[in-house]
Amino acid sequence: MISTQMLNKEQQEGVLTTEGPVLILAGAGSGKTRVLTNRTAYLIDEKGVSPYNILAITFTNKAAAEMKSRINEIVGFGSDGVWVSTFHSCCVRILRRYVDRMGYDTAFTIYDTDDQKSLMKDICKRLEIDTKMYKEKMFLNAISAAKNELIDPSDFLARAEGDFKQLKIATVYAEYQKQLLKNNAMDFDDLIMKTVELLSVDNEVREYYQERFHYIMVDEYQDTNRAQFMLIKLLAGKYKNLCVVGDDDQSIYKFRGADISNILDFESIYPNAKVIKLEQNYRSTQNILDAANQVIANNRGRKPKALWTEKEAGDRIVFEQFESASEEAYFIANDIKKSVKQAECNYNDCAVLYRTNAQSRLLEERFVANNIPYKLVGGVNFYARKEIKDILAYLKTIDNGKDDIAVTRILNVPRRGIGMTSQNKVMDYAYNKGISFYDALKEGDRVPGLSRAVGKIRPFVDLIENCRDMLFHNSPVKVLEYLIKETGYVEELEAEGTDEAKARIENIDELITKMVDYEQRADEPTLGEFLEEVALVADIDSYDEDGDYVVLMTLHGAKGLEFPRVYMSGMEDGIFPSYMCITADDPDELEEERRLCYVGITRAKSHLTMTAARTRMIRGETQYNAVSRFVKEIPKELLKGYVKKNSTDNMPRSDTFRKAKQAFKSKPFSATPMQTYNNMQRQGIVLDYKEGDRVSHIKFGEGTVQKIVQGGRDFEVTVDFDQVGVKKMFAMFAKLKKV
């Protein structure tokens, strides 16, 4: 029997309201996971619902594992029957059973980003598309967006309406899907789109799963796209016992297709829905929550709510502004080092969050210099490393010989001397006969003009076939070990004798460890299931909370995590919110950026520091940035150090802005304006605009010149830009043009 005494009133209501549609608006740190797990336990223990009839969907494997663990702790025996999974793993499970009804083999391969790029590159080549004019990435992005909206190739073509570019995309989209089917492969977007298609057209399958899932719960509902929305709607179509949990203030994945209207319009779609608000926060101090509340209150597209806590007010938010991004990184590293040295925290209590991955470089360099252990979350994914992708391509070929991308990747890994001319002949033979590339390799002696290359292809085919035979009598890990030995992959790396080669060998060892761990967990381990598990791993799943290191990650990557100490760097207009967002005539874009700021603030439990730089080098050019409008939305009484304080005196002062500033002040102002102007003319600095003129800047757009001050070697120009407000800059660097 479960107890709800440890839950607050609203949490209890979320647990006990089990029938019909329920929307739980769960603010950051309000205990939504506790509600979901206790709700599941209540259904099983108190209402007698079979675990078999409960589905809980999350967005990450990490969240799914945590939910499973908590349910097991509460319910104990029998809780394994609850289907707890991510959207993608849920769909894979359905498709593995029924996708043969749609022309696929149930042993289909799941393509990652690199596989998609390789396939798109082949398609563009086959269709003779100029990739300088039409980038492969553009096609992939357009196709992904279409799939998120459940638009298939024929629908896409119908919507093109004579638009040449859209017609081109439609042609590529159709060929892309054709090749995926031929390779018996799906990309991540297909997993959901094909499941929706299956449930929509196949009454038997739809009725089976609707009857299977009497109760459905969905976490992070604000991050769902249209395809995910339709999937849930179809599965819950019979019993309508649908409980969705989310926070519209944390909807930050519009760029991935997330549709905030799914949560905002829930009551319109389900008119009899019960709405429950969780506003008590168990994570942060009140000052941090007040700052978050004040920032997000500036958004219009939201459901009103305000976080509060029974905790103390806590420290004020620290704000520091520096002359350069280098000084900013210096401060953050020193502050962390000092705090650890004074035993105020451990390294793993600290996280540095930023808007873009590019901001991590200076931080990493400073952390290395200060001997601070750190982990970059969002760097190169383990499974995206070359040696791992090579081995996985072998395993995919063993499991599914129809995957041409996998086969072509490892045909010459290690080198077998099979040239591109021979590969093209095999590819043409496969295309003309309508068979896979691997099946064409097996028929190598029948391929016209292949001649001596047949002898080089045969050992590769024999290796794959031997591994397939081994699977009947051996575990997947035995096959993996045999494969590594027979290919000589590790032997080649050992022969290199470099540190890089050693690191790659260690990665291969880690892959073996991963497979052993999988086999120990699986009831009936199979190679296909292992590959599926690997394909569905998200980068955030690799984050280890027990490791003693500082975490560096983007604000998007930090969602769902919490840290005692958070540093939000790059709090400048033009960085966060981004310049594109500021200049775009779309208030929804700015609101999404503000939600991202809200997410960043609410990651902090007890200490939050925000930093900004007056100058930052972006793509080789120095930008002069004002303090982020989001910082200005925080009441000054909640901030400590709002006025910029100089950084440590022993910092290097050689940044571009400081040089320009020193040059500006280098001569006394006792000279007459005409003499000063003539001096500057001799140095090639001549202005073709004056105060009151309209000018344009390459990044900030158009504005009006408010003031021009003559210095010793340059002009300081103040411009009120239409989109980004007032900025001061030196004429030599600004390169303003009169409009």
User: Which of 171, 222, 250, 611 does the annotation list as catalytic?
Assistant: 250
Judge whether 250 counts as a catalytic residue. Answer: yes
* Residue type at 485 in one-letter notation: K
Per annotation, catalytic residue among 32, 595, 605, 713: 32
Residue from 17, 33, 526, 622 carrying the catalytic annotation: 33
Cβ atoms of 283 and 602 within 8 Å: the answer is yes
CA 366: distance to chain centroid? 25
Helices 164-182 and 113-126: crossing angle in degrees, nearest 10, is: 110
Instruction: Kindly name the residue from 136, 175, 219, 593 that is annotated as catalytic.
Output: 219
Burial of 405 (C-beta count, 10 Å sphere; 0-12/13-18/19+): buried
468 is catalytic: no
Q: Which residue(s) pair with 243 in the sheet?
A: 22, 217
| Gap between the Cα atoms of 384 and 13, Å rounded | 44
Give ∠ CA 576-582-587 in degrees, rounded to 5: 110
Task: Identify the active-site residue in 189, 220, 403, 532.
Answer: 220
Q: Which tokens go with 146?
A: 């279409």
Catalytic residue among 603, 614, 629, 727: 603
- What gap in Å lies between CA 205 and CA 198, rounded to an integer? 7
| Whether 32 is catalytic | yes
| Residue found by looking up tokens 């499974």 in the block | 383
Concerning whether 710 is annotated as a catalytic residue, the answer is: no
Place of tokens 């990493």: 364
* Residue 113 among the catalytic residues: no
| Strand pairing report for 22-26 and 639-640 | unpaired
β-bridge pairing 715-721 and 701-710: antiparallel
Beta-bridged to residue 186, according to DSSP, are 110
CA distance 178 to 171: 11
Q: Which helix (H) or strand (E) holds 364?
A: helix 360-369
For residue 635, cis peptide bond before it (omega within 30 degrees of 0): no
Please, what is the angle between helix 226-235 and helix 87-98, to 10°? 60
- Residue 498 annotated as catalytic: no
Is the peptide bond preceding residue 577 cis, with omega within 30 degrees of 0?
yes
**From CA 202, how far away is CA 103, in angstroms rounded?**
13
Where in the sequence numbering do the catalytic residues fall?
Answer: 32-33, 219-220, 250, 603
